Amino acid sequence: MSMETTAWTQLRGVLTAEDEHRPVTRATLRRIGAFARPHRRRLALFVLLGTAGAALAVATPVLAGRVVDTIVSGGDEAAVVRLALLIALIAVVEAVLGVLGRRLSAALGEELILDLRTAVFDHVQRMPVAFFTRTRTGALVSRLNNDVIGAQRAFSNTLATVVGNVVTLLLTLAVMLTLSWQITLLALVLLPVFVVPARRMGRRMAGMQREAAALNAAMGTRMTERFSAPGATLVKLFGRPEQESEEFAVRARRVRDIGVRTATAQTVFITALTLVSALALALVYGLGGLLALRGVLEPGAVVALALLLTRLYAPLTSLAGARVEVMSALVSFERVFEVLDLKPLIEERPDAREVPDGPVSVEFDDVRFGYPSADKVSLASLEEVASLDTRGGEEVLHGISFRAEPGRTVALVGSSGAGKSTVAALLPRLYDVDSGAVRVGGVDVRDLSAATLRATLGMVTQDGHLFHDTVRANLLLARPDASEEDLWDALRRARLDALVRALPDGLDTVVGERGYRLSGGERQRMTIARLLLARQRVVILDEATAHLDNTSEAAVQEALAEALEGRTAVVIAHRLSTVRAADLILVVEAGRIVERGTHEELLAADGRYAELHRTQFAPRPDDDHGRDLDHDHTPAQDSDRGRDLHHGRDRNLHHGGDLDRDRDSDPDRDLERDNGRDLDRDNGRDRDLDRDRDSGHDRDSDHGREAPAPV
- Per the model's pLDDT, the better-predicted residue between 381 and 640 turns out to be 381
Mean pLDDT of 662-677: 34
Element (H, E) at 597: strand 592-597
* Contact (Cβ atoms closer than 8 angstroms) between residue 108 and residue 39: yes
- Per the model's pLDDT, the better-predicted residue between 585 and 258 turns out to be 585
Q: Tens digits of per-residue pLDDT, 509-567? A: 888 777 677 777 788 788 888 888 888 889 888 887 766 667 666 766 777 777 777 88
Question: Residue 479 above 80 pLDDT?
Answer: yes
Range with the largest mean pLDDT of 156-170, 256-270, 483-497, 593-607: 593-607
Mean pLDDT of 158-184: 82
The pLDDT of residue 693 is 35
The pLDDT of residue 269 is 74
The pLDDT of residue 317 is 67
Q: Is the dihedral of CA 230, 232, 234, 237 positive or negative?
A: negative
Residues 6 or more apart in contact with residue 214 via CB below 8 angstroms: 381
The pLDDT of residue 436 is 94
Residues 6 or more apart in contact with residue 475 via CB below 8 angstroms: 482, 487, 490, 491, 507, 526, 529, 530, 533
Q: Tens digits of per-residue pLDDT, 383-394? A: 444 443 444 468
Mean pLDDT of 68-72: 85
Length of the chain: 711
* Contact (Cβ atoms closer than 8 angstroms) between residue 156 and residue 109: yes
* Contact (Cβ atoms closer than 8 angstroms) between residue 519 and residue 492: no
The CATH class given to the 362-625 domain equals alpha beta
Question: Residue 463 above 80 pLDDT?
Answer: no
Closest by CA position to 537, among listed 328, 357, 353:
357
The pLDDT of residue 706 is 35
The pLDDT of residue 92 is 93
The pLDDT of residue 281 is 78
Closest by CA position to 180, among listed 274, 54, 283, 51:
283
Question: Residue 665 above 50 pLDDT?
Answer: no
Q: Which of 74-88, 382-396, 443-457, 504-518 has the lowest mean pLDDT?
A: 382-396
Dihedral angle, C-alpha 558, 562, 565, 569, nearest 10 °: -70
Question: Residue 82 above 80 pLDDT?
Answer: yes
* Contact (Cβ atoms closer than 8 angstroms) between residue 339 and residue 380: no
Average pLDDT of the chain is 73
Closest by CA position to 579, among listed 565, 599, 604:
599
* CA angle (678 as vertex; 677, 680 as ends), nearest 5: 145
Domain range annotation of the chain:
26-340, 362-625
The pLDDT of residue 382 is 55
* Share of residues in the chain with pLDDT > 70 (%): 71
The pLDDT of residue 627 is 38
Question: Residue 641 above 50 pLDDT?
Answer: no
- For residue 378, CA distances in Å to 144, 375, 421, 705 come to 15, 6, 22, 41
In which band, very low, low, confident or very high, does the pLDDT at 413 lie, cut at 50, 70 and 90? very high
* Residue-wise DSSP of 423-464: HHHHTTTSS--SEEEEEETTEEGGGB-HHHHHHHEEEEESS-
Mean pLDDT of 323-339: 78
Distance of alpha carbon 544 from alpha carbon 527, whole angstroms: 10
pTM above 0.85, yes or no: no
- Per the model's pLDDT, the better-predicted residue between 462 and 233 turns out to be 462
Distance of alpha carbon 280 from alpha carbon 310, whole angstroms: 9
User: Could you count the other beta carbons within 10 Å of the beta carbon of residue 115?
Assistant: 14
H helices of 227-298, in order, are: 229-237, 241-293
The pLDDT of residue 680 is 38
Q: Tens digits of per-residue pLDDT, 3-60? A: 333 333 333 333 333 333 445 567 777 888 888 788 888 888 888 888 888 888 888 8
Q: Tens digits of per-residue pLDDT, 275-299? A: 777 777 787 888 888 888 888 888 8
The pLDDT of residue 160 is 67
- Per the model's pLDDT, the better-predicted residue between 391 and 450 turns out to be 450
If one looks up domain 26-340 in CATH, what number appears?
1.20.1560.10
In which band, very low, low, confident or very high, does the pLDDT at 376 lie, cut at 50, 70 and 90? low
- Per the model's pLDDT, the better-predicted residue between 244 and 78 turns out to be 78
Question: Residue 217 above 50 pLDDT?
Answer: yes
Question: Residue 703 above 50 pLDDT?
Answer: no
- Per the model's pLDDT, the better-predicted residue between 258 and 388 turns out to be 258
The pLDDT of residue 388 is 39
Mean pLDDT of 657-669: 34
Task: Tell me which DSSP letter residue 19 carries.
Answer: -
Mean pLDDT of 655-672: 34
Closest by CA position to 559, among listed 578, 537, 572:
578
The pLDDT of residue 438 is 94
Q: How far out from the chain centre does Cα 74 lie?
A: 70
Q: What are phi and psi of 298, to 5 degrees?
A: -75, 145
* Share of residues in the chain with pLDDT > 90 (%): 11
